[in-house]
Each structure stands twice: as structure tokens, then as C-alpha cells.
Structure 1
Amino acid sequence: MPEVNVDTPDGPVSAVLERPDGDGPHPGVVVVHDALGLSPDIRGIVRDIADHGYVALAPDLYSRGGTARCMPGVFRDLLGRRGRAVSDLLAARDHLRSLPDCSGAVAVVGFCMGGGFALALSPMGFDASAPFYGVLPRPLDEALSGACPIVASFGARDPILPGAGKKLTATLERQGVPHDVETYSGVGHSFVNHLPAGPAAPLLRVVGFNYGEEQAADAWRRVYSFFDEHLTR
């Protein structure tokens, strides 16, 4: 899996870059990892996005010092919608646009923490946003003013984000933002992610942190259809 450096205002960060077959140009997608970082699961998702015809770039938001050291600052930047992590992700967007095989149209996809970033970044120069169970930024109407088209996915059994899909839909409708928001029954948080196996795995399933094969497949179908509509230039 190709590792690259992305130049940012605070110095370079490492990232994973995957390309589709063919010369292109192809639309680009910035992939924002969850709190676990650039895990094998996220790396597999980056490859899958590329296999569907997109130049996919996932910056490592923890690359300046590791998970424990960087996570508090990354979450602070998420809640404030500003700071080093936001600058890193905007630099990743610009890096994609600079590539000769990128068409210039760039979307952002994120999971959990990364889903929150995908929502927060939706008014910041992206062409589409696909948050998966992302924390809704506050105040929501202000945070999403001028947002790009959004395709969002939530789980009905999510203990962290009850009612988030309805709240997001209402805001996007008020603001006239093109959107496709779905809340899937039978699954909760992280339903498109393969979480690491371990002693806590059964408890995570009980509280709604579980992979849902059918729901995940439908969510990705919606995302790629939405991107096909909004990333054509």
C-alpha cells in the first residue's frame, strides 16, 4: 500500500494513497480515519474506494506523535472545527487536486471521529461529504451553512448518536443542501467497520458496536451512487 507524505501548514504528515486502474482523471476522496487511527480496516476501505474508481488518500492524523499523544488534540480540533487536524485534512484535499490523475472533484469520507470531521469539513471546499455515524457539529445550522452535498449513514441502535439522522436531515432540508441520510435498523455504531477482535468484542456487540454486512453494503452503494452524481466534472 503506497505511503506518501502530505505537505501541511504544520509540516508533513504521512498518508496512504491508493489509485484506481486506468489513466483517469478520476475524482478524489479524502478518507478520515476513526479514533483507532490508520488501522488495517481503514486501509482496506481506502483500497476499496480506489477499486470503485476514485483516487483515495487517508492522512494519518496521529503521525506527529502516535495515538495517545495526538488523540486529545485531534478531538479538540474536531469539536472546534479548526486547528491542526482540520488543516491537515484540507491539505490532503489540495494534495489530491494537485495530482495529474485527479479530476479536481474531491469528496470526504469519515468514520465515527472521522465522520464528525466529514460533516465539519462539508462547507470547506469539498464537492461531496459521506459521514458514517459522525458526531453532529454544534451549533448544527451554523456549522453546516454552505455545506456541500451530504450522504450520511447512521445505525438505529447507536448508543452515542440517538436521533442524529433525523436532526441532520432537518437541518439539511432547512438549508437546501442536497442530501441522502439513512438510519439503518438492526445495527449501531461502527456498522461498516471491522473492529479489532479482543476480550471486549462481545460487549461492543451488545452495546451496538458491530459490523452489519447487509447494511454496510447498502450504505456503500448509496455513497458511490451519490458520488457518481456529484463528483462529475
Structure 2
Amino acid sequence: MSETPRSTGAPAHQNVTFPSGGTTAHGYLALPPSGQGPGVIVIQEWWGLTDHIADVTERLAKEGFVALAPDLYGGNVAHDGAEALRMMQDLPVSRGVELLSGAVDHLLAMPEVTSAAVGSVGFCMGGGFVLYQAATDSRVHAAVPFYGVIQGETPDFSGLKAQILGHYGERDGAIPVDSLPPLSDTIREQSGITPDFRVYPADHAFFNDGRPEVHDPESSSKAWRSTVDFLHAQLG
């Protein structure tokens, strides 16, 4: 995760509200051209619900999914790394998982959603939340963490139902590649599911095309195509 100052110049993208965690939550929803499809949750980076996350949500919709990006920061967007770190630290993992559960409730209740379970795709902080969410919510059947940062204790994966496809950069200082085999072993030992962790010749946040200093187009293209294929294979 970079401490490089980042000015978004725009508030969080929001176009839907739904009850979640005892409050009214907001999010960004995108529907596929057909008007219906399997449901996918998109989980933000530590910056917030930015243009990049809204774009990923739209891209998933174009691939045939009903995609919902819940706003975990309540409308706030970080403008630099220090602020992003503070906002991430101010969101307890348990609270984030609770809000994500409400987003799954909302998605599965939508008549446009054709799947009985959902997929979850997240980036950086959101990639870590993909794993926490999948470990605790049996309605998640496809989990895709992009360079997921696990905060604190590793989740208990004994209740995991989701297949996992993870994307990581070999030059990622926040997530050393030698940390992936132990994580894979833990997931397999606790759940019986072997995750598919893929490593690319890239940096942290390599999929974020709004950050040209780290964006890797070739790695991004490969990771995206495999993600779409994986989600369709698991959800329909």
C-alpha cells in the first residue's frame, strides 16, 4: 500500500441504499445489459468507494453480473495515504464484515439476481475483507482477493464454502509472496479447499489503472479475464 498522496477530487460513488448492520448503508449498483445475472459484491480499497471501484463494478455488470459495491466508509474518500490508513484502522474488521453481510442480504433479495449465492471481489483492504467475508458467510461461493491485506489475525476458514482465486504482485512490499504458501496451507487444512493464488510480475495495486505508477496492463488483463471466467464458473 502506497503512502503517495492521492487526490480523488470527488465524493464516493453512491446510487443505492439498503439496511445493513443496524443502519442505512449506501453503495454503487450496476446491472448487466440483460437486466439480470449472478450477484457479485465489489469491495473497495483503503481509499474508499472511488472512481476505480465504480469502474470495476460497471465492468462486472458488462460481463453479465449484478454488481454491488457497498460503501464501507459512509461517503468518505481518502485523499492521501495517511488518511486512508486512518480510515482503514477506524473500521474494525468485525464491523466491515457485518456491513458486507448486509450487502449480501440486499443483493440476494433483488429480483434481478439469478444466483442463490454471490461472488466477492476486493482490492487491497477489500481483498482482505473478501477472505474475512468468505470465511464467515456461507452465501459467498466465489472469492477473488486482489492483493488482499489481512489486518490482524488470520480468519478461521473452517466454515469456508467459497472457492478462492487470488491475484498478487511479486514486487508487493505489503504482501510478501512468501506469505502466500502458509496462508494457502491454512485455508486448505481448515476448510479442505485449496485456493488458487496467482502471482504476477507487478507491484501492489497493479490492477488500479488510476495509478499509472503501479498499474500493469498485461497483468491486469490476465487477472481480469481469469476473474470473470472464475465467477461465471462458480455462479453461473
Give me the TM-score of the superposition, normalised by structure 1. 0.83
Conserved? CA contact 1:4–1:16, under 8 Å: yes
Answer whether contact 1:47 1:56 (CA < 8 A) is retained. Answer: yes
2:29 counterpart of 1:13: no
Q: Percent identity?
A: 31
Q: Which amino acid aligns with 2:40?
A: V
Q: Deviations over 1:84-141 (max 9, x none)?
A: x22111101110000001023211111000001001111212111110001236543x
- Given that 1:127 and 1:230 are in contact with CA atoms closer than 8 Å, whether structure 2 keeps it comes out as yes
Secondary structure at 1:161 match in 2: coil
Q: Partner of 2:149 in structure 1? A: 135
Please state if 1:231 is matched with 2:235. yes
List runs of 5+ in structure 1 lacking aligned partners.
198-204
206, 216, 219: which one pairs with 1:212? 216
| 1:69-88 equivalence runs, <5 A | 72=86, 74-75=88-89, 77=91, 81-83=93-95, 85-88=96-99
Spell out, residue by residue over 1:35-87, the C-alpha distance to the aligned partner (whole angstroms, 9 max, x if none). 11111111111000111111000111111666599974653555xx412x221
Q: 1:144 aligns to what?
A: 157
Tell me by how many angstroms 1:145 deviates: 2.1
Alpha carbons 2:38, 2:65 under 8 Å: kept: yes
In structure 2, relative to structure 1, the CA distance for the partners of 1:66 and 1:211 (3 Å cut) is closer
Alignment match, 2:109: 98
- 1:49 to 2:64 alignment: no
C-alpha contact (below 8 Å) 1:137/1:143 kept by paired residues: no
Structure 2 length normalisation: TM-score?
0.82
Contact 2:46 2:84 in 1 (8 A): no
CA distance in 2, matches of 1:212, 1:65: 27
Q: Note if contact 2:57-2:67 (Cα within 8 Å) is conserved in structure 1.
A: yes
Matched AA of 1:170: D
CA deviation string 1:179-230 (max 9, x = no partner)? 3210112x11001012457xxxxxxx4xxxx111111111111212221221
Q: Does 1:166 align with 2:181?
A: yes
What stretches of structure 2 of length at least 5 have no aligned partner? Answer: 1-12
Aligned to 1:201: none
Moved more, 68-77 or 150-159: 68-77
Select the residue among 175, 183, 187 that pairs with 2:199.
183
Q: Following TM superposition, by how much is the alpha carbon of 1:143 offset from its aligned partner in structure 2, in angstroms?
A: 2.2
